[in-house]
Structure 1
Amino acid sequence: MRKQRVAIIGGSSGIGLRVAERAIDLGADVVIGGRDAEKLQRAASKLGPASRVLTVDNVDQDSLRRFFEQAGPINHLFTPGASYSRGRIDKASDEVAESSFRSKFWGQYYAVKHALPYLDKNGSITLMAGAYSVRPAAEGAAYGACNAAIEGLGRALAVELAPIRVNVISPGTIDSDLWRRQPDAIREASFSSYGEAALLKRVGTTDEVAHTVIYLMENGFMNGSTLYPDGGFALR
């Protein structure tokens, strides 16, 4: 990965930030994008001179277009950034039901579209879905369907864009700063419930997911695959 450039939409915190750190450790430059300028600057201070930050809104195609124009040539794209809500089909508003598709599915679809003019033809794209694709929660049918759709998108894009490689990660519950901002009681209950469901009896770490993303970037024979860093959650 030395002397390559990695673009990460959603790279100012959590899994995206940890991928940026690992990529820099391997000799890459990173361009990270997000909505919150203050968070981006904090990430830049942490990552150092091998990083560049740009504001981007992944539900705005003009914003995505400008992001890649400013980022310039890239070798790898990772798209974990999304903002959405979920709820039962008989209780959720249309806005909540559609939010995961709007931000997580279409946000990644259009990120890929606008990245293509700048992406190395031997480069890679890693999309972010989630283990609810194969083991849906009781509340959030649209969210489960969205994750399954992203996995299908990854396979279809691998066929459509070859030799550019396209893969998907579908993590389970991960102990990230997003969870750390939740009240202790909610976080602990969620982690306990996930631990009961997963074969490894615990939630994952951002480092474990980042390791999976870097593997997909570096392994030149991985294409059209979905990997589940979920502790065996999908198997129960």
Structure 2
Amino acid sequence: MAFAKPGKYASKLIDKKVLVLGGTSGLGFAVAEAAWEFGAKVTISGSRQPKVDHKLSEMKSNNPAGDVSKLQGFACDLGNKETLEGNLKSLFDQATDSGTTKLDHIVFSAGDAPPMKPLAEVDVAYLHAAGLVRLAAPFIIGKLCAAHGYLKSSASSSITFTSGMSESKPGAGQSSMLAAFGGIEVFTRGLAVDLAPVRVNCVAPGGVDTELSQAFGGESLLNHFRERSTTKTVGKPEDVAEAYLYSMRDQFVTGTVIESNGGGLLV
């Protein structure tokens, strides 16, 4: 029995090479699942290889019909400033066979949960630590793409970073953390110019029920987001993953912050 060939919209990610950093949990895992479901060749990365392997098995279990030859994963620790660049270069070498098979898309959703500090107690060391994963790592990714050509130089290629709703609507006591986190949106626009024609965008999610949101504040935080949205809901990773898919598939969007927040900025 012959199967219908996917149409021009459904086929946009077929056999595209997609690297998802932070792909073992939350938004990154959902993006990886979705891209693989649409036929992409997906590489996921997380800080520990056992978790990477577990999540690869989970993806295969969730989609038994998926092509397992299009799925792989490698550990990459982003939490040490001394090894950050070397670890990222090693990951890119693994994902591209040392640059011989270039990537089409990079998604960065990795994050950590640094402790909130009152502004009066913040020092330079705190700012450096808070921005290591969320700002320094994306910067090094941009550097590696510029220096080593791991990403195809085309408008069909993209990098998508992740910020958040608090950058646009900060809460009390968040200024020290946002000083480190908020730079990613400005960096996105600058990198879109420097890496052109490659497209660079950033997804800014609102309150999403992920492992990271549970670490930050759990149900009380999610209820806060729920009450302050127009949808009276919190996001699900599989819904917000659509924003990342859009960033990959729309070859005319670049230098843009894509918001998915349930109306949280409206009220």
Same fold (TM over 0.5): yes
The code of the aligned residue for 1:112 comes to G
Q: In the alignment, is residue 64 of structure 1 matched against residue 76 of structure 2?
A: no
Question: What residue in structure 2 maps to residue 170 of structure 1?
Answer: 204
Instruction: State the Cα RMSD in Å.
Output: 1.8
Q: In the alignment, is residue 118 of structure 1 matched against residue 150 of structure 2?
A: yes
CA displacement at 1:93 relative to structure 2: 6.0
Quote the Cα distance in structure 2 between the aligned partners of 1:208 and 1:146: 27
Alignment counterpart, residue 58 of structure 2, candidates 19, 24, 46: 46
Question: What residue in structure 2 maps to residue 33 of structure 1?
Answer: 45
Q: Number of residues paired by the alignment?
A: 233
- SS of the equivalent of 2:119 reads coil
C-alpha change, 1:111 and 1:57, in structure 2 (3 Å) is farther
Q: How does 1:1-236 map to 2 (within 5 A)?
A: 1-48=13-60, 49=68, 50-58=70-78, 59=81, 60-72=84-96, 73-85=102-114, 86-92=116-122, 94-116=124-146, 117-122=149-154, 123-179=157-213, 186-236=217-267
Cα deviation per residue 1:129-162 (whole Å; 9 max; x = unaligned)? 1111111121221322333311111111111111
As a proportion of its length, which structure holds more strand?
1
Quote the Cα distance in structure 1 between the aligned partners of 2:104 and 2:228: 37
Q: Which moved more, 1:114-123 or 1:156-165?
A: 114-123
Quote the Cα distance in structure 2 between the aligned partners of 1:212 and 1:154: 16
The code of the aligned residue for 2:75 comes to T
Aligned residues of 1:84 and 1:96 also touching (Cα < 8 A): no
Aligned residues of 1:129 and 1:170 also touching (Cα < 8 A): yes
Deviating 4+ runs (over 6 angstroms): none
CA displacement at 1:43 relative to structure 2: 1.0
C-alpha change, 1:115 and 1:221, in structure 2 (3 Å) is same
Cα deviation per residue 1:7-43 (whole Å; 9 max; x = unaligned)? 0111011110110000011100111111111210111
CA displacement at 1:221 relative to structure 2: 0.6
The code of the aligned residue for 2:133 comes to S
As a proportion of its length, which structure holds more helix?
1
User: Gaps (5+ residues) in structure 1?
Assistant: none
Cα deviation per residue 1:57-102 (whole Å; 9 max; x = unaligned)? 2341000011101110210001111224132212456544433312
Paired-residue identity, %: 27
Q: Which moved more, 1:194-203 or 1:5-14?
A: 194-203
Quote the Cα distance in structure 1 between the aligned partners of 2:180 and 2:44: 24
Cα deviation per residue 1:102-129 (whole Å; 9 max; x = unaligned)? 2101111112222441101121000111
C-alpha change, 1:198 and 1:99, in structure 2 (3 Å) is farther
Work out which of the two has the higher radius of gyration on C-alpha atoms and give 1 or 2: 2
The code of the aligned residue for 2:110 comes to G
Q: Which moved more, 1:165-174 or 1:192-201?
A: 192-201
Quote the Cα distance in structure 2 between the aligned partners of 1:54 and 1:112: 19
C-alpha change, 1:129 and 1:110, in structure 2 (3 Å) is same
CA displacement at 1:200 relative to structure 2: 1.9
Quote the Cα distance in structure 2 between the aligned partners of 1:126 and 1:74: 13
Q: Which moved more, 1:94-103 or 1:28-37?
A: 94-103
Q: Which moved more, 1:186-195 or 1:11-20?
A: 186-195
